[in-house]
Amino acid sequence: MIQVQWNRKFEVGHERIDFEHKIFLGLIRDVSLAPQQGIQKERILRHLNEVKKYAVFHFTSEENIMFDVTYPDRERHIKEHEILLALLTDKTHQYRSEEIELDDIVSYLFEWFALHTTQIDTKLSHYISDV
């Protein structure tokens, strides 16, 4: 079982983005803890839907910030968001049809989060502070 936990290294230094990241990671953490709490699969699938909807909200809010500051690397960043959403949708279907385990989704989400925040979002945050 993967340990999903907030770490200071995930902070990008932008108040709004960090705030939303904490909620996003909290939702992923709840999903990771669900099986050991005896939560039924149907409810876990509802929870994964909540993760996805929050991701859509959070990505929109980041993309609007990029738009406001005419961020030059906007397209590549948006592409990364789109890939996460597409893969999360695919993996959720696979989990529903028992082709993969919940842990596979959780590890994917957590690894993506760690990499994306520390590299891609940090770059955006630095750009904003320099504008």
Q: Which residues bind Fe ion (CB under 5 A)?
A: 62, 121
Closer of 94 and 118 to Fe ion (Cβ): 118
- DSSP state, residue 100: S
Closer of 59 and 95 to Fe ion (Cβ): 59
Beta carbon of residue 68, minimum distance to Fe ion (angstroms, whole number): 15
Beta carbon of residue 12, minimum distance to Fe ion (angstroms, whole number): 9
Sequence-ordered strand ranges (E) for 10-88? none
Q: How many beta carbons lie within 10 A of that of residue 69, not counting itself?
A: 13
Token pair for residue 83? 């890939």
Asked if residues 47 and 4 have their Cβ atoms less than 8 Å apart, the reply is: no
Closer of 110 and 121 to Fe ion (Cβ): 121
Beta carbon of residue 27, minimum distance to Fe ion (angstroms, whole number): 16
Q: Which amino acid is at 75?
A: E
> Among residues 24, 27, 2, 33, which one has the least CA distance to residue 108?
2
Beta carbon of residue 86, minimum distance to Fe ion (angstroms, whole number): 15
Query: What is the distance between the alpha carbons of residues 125 and 68, in angstroms, rounded to a whole number?
Result: 13
Closer of 62 and 106 to Fe ion (Cβ): 62
